[in-house]
Amino acid sequence: MKKIMVGVLLTITVILCNMVECYAEDSYETYNEIMMVDGKLMKYFTEEELKEYYQKVKKRQFWGINVYTVNQNVEATYISSTLYNVENKGDTDVSYELDVVVDVSNKTTWSVSGNLSGNAKGSIKSFKTDLAAKAGIDYSNTKTESRKETQKLKVTVEKGSRAIVYLMGSARITNGVCSAYICFVNVANCGFEYFTLVNQYPRMEKRKL
């Protein structure tokens, strides 16, 4: 019996080691600013809060994942990046036609937190569908690929002024913590976060020099 259990655990270890991938899946965490109408991003959870949340997912089971959702589908706005910063120090107005690349896909990306081992990352990856369902995310409709289109933007920069063009938009955020079990062994404990991009558009701001 002991040899059988050792063999099972070795098989599981090999499987998990081959399931490692890099998190987060996309770059929303590099956005300049994300403003939620309520709650906060996973990266701002305190140690005290995480300790409280993890107590809610410590439920031993043979196989599966326990999930505690802290924020579910909370509306948010964001500024992703600055595209152009144009100065006009001359004596006349200057006009430009700029190419602005906008992400037009309604996609959901996700990330997990903590200094996770390869086995832990592989465990969460293997339970990804279950995690999404228990967190209230429609996994069948989530997409990680970007679909972009180029838009033309006409900009007039008045003399003695600066024009700043940046991307912004709205999103929905779901986050919390989870624990994964395989053969009654707790193989992963981590925070998770889903970022659903709703729309994206360019915005221009002008300032005097």
Contact predicate 111/193, CB 8 Å: yes
pLDDT at 5 over 50: no
Q: Please give the helix or strand (H or E) that residue 118 lies within, else none.
A: helix 118-126
pLDDT at 170: 94
Q: What is the pTM of this model?
A: 0.76
Per-residue model confidence (pLDDT) at position 25: 41
Mean pLDDT to the nearest integer, 82-106? 87
Binned at pLDDT 50, 70 and 90, residue 19 comes out as very low
Segment 51-80, tens digit of pLDDT: 999 999 988 899 999 999 999 999 999 998
Euclidean distance between CA atoms 93 and 103, whole angstroms:
31
Task: Work out the pLDDT band at 192, boundaries 50, 70, 90.
Answer: very high
Q: Grade residue 136 by pLDDT with cuts at 50, 70 and 90.
A: confident
Q: How many CA atoms lie within 13 A of 206 on its CB side?
A: 9
Which residue, chain included where needed, has tokens 């509306």? 75
The string over 70-100, giving b where at least 16 C-beta atoms fall within 10 Å of a residue's C-beta and e elsewhere, is bbeebebebebeebbebebeeeeeeeeebeb
pLDDT over threshold 60, residue 115: no
